[in-house]
Structure 1
Amino acid sequence: MFSTLRTAFAVQRGLDGGLNSRDLLEFTTIDAAASCGLAARTGSIAPGKDADIIPLRAADITVCPVTDPAATIVIQGHPGLVDTVLVAGRIVKRDGALVGVDLPALKKRLAASRDRVAAAAGVRLDRPWRPQPAAKQPS
């Protein structure tokens, strides 16, 4: 998400600079929820809405000192700043670590999935993979 915001901000600056960092945050929160038909449930912090919140580490040296919070998120934000994640009020990440997830078991499942997909595609994992050139179609 952070790199997408930063890219959109840079492109907009190169065009006419008509959008600011707060506009971009609204696009990814309030407007995104509305476009998905979820504005009554999420997209902003309000009584009765799901508590989908991502507190960031504002004291991190990569963003300190924060003068404009919206600009800091858009321009300097990165995944390492994510301290806690709440989804529908349930903490799923705390102090930068996932909660209730067996990471070693998950990594094994991910590797097994990768291996199945690679085998089905005929891709060897013991060397760098390069896509095969497409066969030329007769004209």
Structure 2
Amino acid sequence: MDMQAQVAALIGEAEQQLVDGVWDLTRGGRALALQVAAGLGNAVGAPEGREDMADIERLEHLREALAVLAIALARTHGRLAWFLAQGSAALTPVLHWRALPAGDGPAFNTVLPTAEQFTRAEDAVRRLSAMLTRLGT
């Protein structure tokens, strides 16, 4: 399952838990969700003009999004932590990407992502951000 499908499934499960009344965020959880949503939004920005950015910048921004998720994950527990952990897990392919040529040596099993992969990863981050915004309000 690709990262967009994983994020879609994660969001679907979260929405179902909200509908079923299984997941009721505390005030602190809602505040953290909004903080993470803002951090993710700042990391990847709007889709317009992203294709014109250098690959190294796009990769930096995606790694920043992963850092936002990791830091927030360290500060919470329960369902919100599980949601953030699975969001991070869905984005793990980003950790195997590089933006620089490997040259003649080994590259630690990293690969050069395509422009479409960058776009799909950025979209997945935006979808996580949108869901976290809904959770926080």
- TM-score over 0.5 for the pair: no
When the two structures are superposed, what TM-score results if normalisation uses the length of structure 1? 0.25
| Structure with the bigger percentage of helix | 2
Compare relative contact order (CA 8 Å, sep 6+) and give the higher one, 1 or 2: 2
TM-score by length of 2: 0.25
Structure number with bigger Rg: 1
